[in-house]
Structure 1
Amino acid sequence: MSAGLTFSFTVADNAGERLDLLVARHGDLSRTQAATLIANGTVLVNGERQKASYRAEPEDAVVVTVPPPPGRDVVPEQIPLDIVYEDEHLLVVNKAAGMVVHPAPGNWSGTLVNALMGRGEPLAEGGGEDRAGLVHRLDKDTSGLLVVAKTDESHRILSGALAARQVTRRYVAVCWGHLNADSLTVDKPIARDPRDRTRMAIVQTGKAARTDFTRLARFDSVDLLRAHLHTGRTHQIRIHLSSVGHPVIGDDTYGGGGGRKLAGLPPRRHFLHAAWLRFKHPVSGAIVDLRSPLPTDLRQSLAALSDMPELATHQDPLDVFGFYHTDESVGSARGAASD
């Protein structure tokens, strides 16, 4: 749960459970964080403060406000960005692997938000200063396309389209081993791992999450996949593939880190790239269709894994494997991201 936001829920099947446990689960917080919020009076049950040990009753209405962290200003920084689309309403960044998207403890500088603010262009304020126009996010070591709103109106419309599953986001991934079929849908809820709050996990009480996977190629030890997100949970593709026994190669967190040398990947890099983004422009309604070819490190890795050395210098190896072939029509607004 992002700091500086408010969320609410109504108690249904969890009557009798402690308030701190309910708040932690609904807000993707640790139990200690939830207890602190309750003690500080930012959690109200039916409009009143309660203790962390309060036992919830059916139909209790709980409102939780997560205050922003004190004393940290987001500092604009002059960091080069690969902007692949921009107008007065929005921009799309081709994010490099290794860049954190927004400031947080341990990463107060060098983030995408710091870089966006350093450009001196207007950014939507709806998400708060530390989110500065972000409509969605990418993991630190995931590269590819990401939308940023310049106005609050654009942010509202794009966020609504994302929630309504009207924004098409397709990723390329390479997983260890081989799927049992050429297509697979994983529909499993995701939440903070109750045993390790730095990770996410499949949790039955978590938020709904669905990913469609299509196998584009089968190599000796790995599959090349196209992943289509229907929801946007943290680490969703990585967790869903790990849950079926085929983690993303190079993913140290969810079991795919072994064999990194075989894949030819640099340290801390996993083979996951947001390659295709398609959405309606929030003002004109025109279709914006953007593609990001594989960056150099992933091209070289794919060339090694496929035993096709020519892919290392191919302009867009994804074309070779039909990544962009779907039944959807192609829109009128188009751009190409460089690597």
Structure 2
Amino acid sequence: MKNSNRYRVDEPSQLLEYLFTILSDRSRNSVKTLLARGQVSVDGQPETAFNYKLQQGQMVEIGHNRSFKKSTPLQGLKILHEDEDLIIIDKSSGLLSVATAKEKQSTAYRQLTDHVKNHNPKGRIFIVHRLDRETSGVMMFAKNEKIKRALQNNWKDIVRERIYMALVEGEVQTAEGTISSWLKESKSMKMHSSQKPNDGQYAVTHYKRIQWNSSFSLLEVQLETGRKNQIRVHMEDIGHPIAGDKKYGAAGKGIGRLGLHAKLLTFQHPATKKLMRFKAETPEAFYKKSK
């Protein structure tokens, strides 16, 4: 018998009755014991209530030789989608994507690693791309090395859309535009923009003005390339730095955080080839500040 089995619920039922059905080869007492010992989870959380009401589409997992631990609630992130290969999240501003020398525990990577290990002790999480600590929105992680390599080696072909919302300082005069330059990183870990051909990595950013006033403009930004700090550098290049981004030229605090949000990610699933689209709602403060 396998260490654990997963079942998708086809129709509403009480948990114990459902277990009697899917574990019909076991005695009723042994099924009750599995439940009482915390060896049953529903949608990733241990469940011991006999009369727990299951809904269609929920996932029931049986850990035949182990008990499930109640996972710590995720902080600063929400899982938008999870399958055998990928986890897509909506990350809050202020949460690190991965560990730094100063902070190793409170990161999206650490929390998701604990999350997958709760279901599979051998489970792992792999970094595919990153969002800055103060940037919120849609972010993707791989759950195995094969998928990680497929995404990183074919990123430009797999990813169809990466759209950000950027709250920038000042009134942007043009309705839309394109910024291109070569970007390179200095010894102080700051990215610099150059118009000199091949002086770094080529970067292209498209933007469209959504709403604006004399102090701030809200832009929809689409990345043609994905370089480190690309949007932040390019907004500084046109004289409209991201609100709150002191590192790249912002004069004020803006909304008390970096005014950058990863709104939309559309990609072809590297395993199933299905086109997938995930959206994270833009923080209301972006709209209020640029009215």
TM range (shorter): 0.5 to 0.7
Q: 1:124 to 1:281 in 2, by over 3 A?
A: farther
Q: State the partner residue of 1:316.
A: none
Unaligned runs of 5+ in 1: 1-75, 307-339
Give the letter aligned to residue 91 of structure 1. I
Work out whether 1:101 is the aligned partner of 2:74.
no
Tell whether the 8 Å contact from 2:172 to 2:212 is kept in structure 1 after alignment: no
CA distance in 1, matches of 2:141, 2:156: 15
CA distance in 2, matches of 1:99, 1:208: 28
Match of 2:147 among 154, 168, 192: 154
Tell whether the 8 Å contact from 1:90 to 1:148 is kept in structure 2 after alignment: yes
Can you list the C-alpha shifts for 1:112-153, whole angstroms capped at 9, x where unaligned?
Answer: 11111111346999xxx8xx4111110110000001111222
CA distance in 2, matches of 1:159, 1:235: 18
Q: 1:224 to 1:138 in 2, by over 3 A?
A: same
Can you list the C-alpha shifts for 1:77-132, whole angstroms capped at 9, x where unaligned?
Answer: 8743310011111010111111111112222221111111111346999xxx8xx4
Q: How does 1:60-99 map to 2 (within 5 A)?
A: 79-80=74-75, 81-99=77-95
Match of 1:286 among 253, 265, 274: 274
- Could you tell me how far 1:168 is from its partner in structure 2? 1.3
Report sequence identity in percent: 28
SS at structure 2 position matched to 1:209: strand
Unaligned runs of 5+ in 2: 1-70
Q: State the partner residue of 1:45.
A: none
Q: State the partner residue of 2:290.
A: 305
Give the letter aligned to residue 305 of structure 1. S
Tell whether the 8 Å contact from 2:158 to 2:267 is kept in structure 1 after alignment: no
SS at structure 2 position matched to 1:253: helix
Instruction: State the structure with bigger RCO (CA 8 A, min sep 6), 1 or 2.
Output: 2
Give the letter aligned to residue 179 of structure 2. V
Higher Rg of the two aligned structures: 2
Q: How does 1:1-339 map to 2 (within 5 A)?
A: 79-80=74-75, 81-121=77-117, 132-164=125-157, 166-193=159-186, 197-203=188-194, 204=196, 205-258=199-252, 260=253, 263=254, 265-266=255-256, 269-295=257-283, 299-306=284-291
CA distance in 1, matches of 2:160, 2:146: 17
- Could you tell me how far 1:166 is from its partner in structure 2? 3.3
- Could you tell me how far 1:170 is from its partner in structure 2? 0.2
